[in-house]
Amino acid sequence: MIKHLLLTSFLSLISVSCGNDSDVDINEFDITGSAADLEDGSAPVDPAINSGRFDLTWKVDDNNAFGYTARFFLSLNSNLDESNDIEFFSAICDEFASCDHDRRNDETCFFGNDLVMFCGDEDDAVKRDVDEIVDSLPMDAYLIIEACTILDCDTAAHPVRLL
């Protein structure tokens, strides 16, 4: 009983000293596609235009957690389902990584005729085959960001039309 009380007191002290707001919030998530957004708000991504280039833009408030991990998925709907969605990019965002945890970030990505999606420099990028969920083109889908600190995660989705 005393051990439990001491442990609870210790954890409360840590929570107070570190700040009690451990929520991570995605404040912005946007996709700039191959052309202007369509009437329904979808970003068109066309392999025939600029080599299928599209840009991810995001801003996350990690509530002073000193960093977060951002993962990006192609999905058939706006709800993240890691067993069916395909992760095509991830970034560690902190003071020392490729993206900054307290600023707006962006990444250049590509979608090819071969149904491969990747972000960054083509020579160094991890390329993801997305044909498991892309049955035919054109196709309406979603790009989802999941931002996680050690204590919390948040997700946001943006509609895209793969052409």
DSSP string, the chain: -HHHHHHHHHHHHHHHHH-S----EEEEEEEE-SSSPPTTSPEEE-TTSGGGEEEEEEEEE-TT-S-EEEEEEEESSSS--TTTSEEEEEEEESTTSSB-TTS-EEEEEEE-TTSEEEES-TTTPPPEE-TTT--SSSEEEEEEEEEE-SS-EEEEEEEEEE-
Indicate the domain borders of the chain.
21-162
CA separation for the pair 132, 139 (Å, rounded):
13
- Taking residues 20-42, report their average pLDDT: 88
Reported confidence tier of residue 97, pLDDT bands at 50, 70, 90: low
Predicted local distance difference test score (pLDDT) of residue 65: 79
| Top-confidence residue, 6 or 34 | 34
Predicted local distance difference test score (pLDDT) of residue 128: 95
- Please, which residues bridge with residue 110 across strands? 53, 118
Question: Which class does domain 21-162 fall in?
Answer: mainly beta
| Structure confidence by residue, pLDDT tens digits, 9-25 | 333 333 333 444 558 99
* Residue 100 scores a pLDDT above 90: no
Are 162 and 54 spatial neighbours (Cβ–Cβ below 8 Å)? no
Predicted local distance difference test score (pLDDT) of residue 22: 59
Predicted local distance difference test score (pLDDT) of residue 102: 61
CA separation for the pair 153, 80 (Å, rounded):
12
* Residue 126 scores a pLDDT above 60: yes
The CB density around residue 129, as the number of other CB atoms within 10 Å, is 12
| Structure confidence by residue, pLDDT tens digits, 48-95 | 999 999 999 999 988 877 889 999 999 999 999 999 999 999 998 887
* Residue 99 scores a pLDDT above 50: yes
CA separation for the pair 63, 41 (Å, rounded):
29
Predicted local distance difference test score (pLDDT) of residue 48: 95
Q: What is the pTM of this model?
A: 0.84
Are 31 and 75 spatial neighbours (Cβ–Cβ below 8 Å)? no
